[in-house]
């Protein structure tokens, strides 16, 4: 189960990276804006609840920044971040699964720093 959920996250990061102008730089797909802002994980961060995502097409802006979009046609919850920072020493990033069982994808337009842990075992 964990491996099935890891692939969409990696594909989302690769998708954003492959569309970048050069190695080390990345931009989101044309027309897609990083409407979820920056994900900065802290000691007080709560699990990311995939049920908070609004329903819509994956490429529409999030109605509430940080809550993502659930696309029922593609069966995916998509977050479009400016950047991601998960420092070491913070609790693991965890998720509350979406009621549909949809996987999660992170598209990141800027820097991604993961020195901590991202747990996918609840998905």
Give the domain range for residue 35.
2-114
Residue 120 lies in a domain: no
Residue 123 lies in a domain: no
Secondary structure class of 53 (helix, strand, coil): coil
Q: Which helix (H) or strand (E) holds 107?
A: strand 104-108
Percent of all residues in the chain with a pLDDT value above 90, rounded to a whole number: 68
pTM score of the predicted model: 0.77
Residue 69 lies in a domain: yes
Copy the structure tokens of residue 64. Answer: 């509430």
pLDDT tens digits, 26-73? 555 666 789 999 999 999 899 999 999 999 999 999 999 999 999 999
Residue 61 lies in a domain: yes
Alpha-carbon distance of 9 to 56, in angstroms, equals 19
* Total domains, the chain: 1
Q: Is the pLDDT of residue 22 over 50?
A: no
């Amino acid at each position: 189960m964990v491996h099935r959920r890891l692939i969409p996250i990696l594909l989302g990061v690769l998708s954003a990276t492959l569309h970048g102008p050069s190695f080390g730089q990345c931009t989101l797909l044309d027309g897609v804006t990083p409407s979820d802002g920056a994900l900065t994980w802290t000691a007080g961060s709560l699990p990311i609840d995939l049920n908070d995502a609004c329903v819509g097409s994956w490429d529409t802006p999030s109605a509430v920044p940080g809550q993502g979009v659930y696309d029922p046609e593609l069966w995916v919850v998509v977050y479009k971040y400016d950047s991601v920072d998960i420092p070491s020493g913070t609790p693991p990033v965890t998720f509350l699964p979406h009621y549909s069982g949809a996987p999660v994808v992170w598209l990141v337009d800027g820097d991604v720093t993961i020195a901590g842990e991202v747990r996918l075992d609840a998905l």
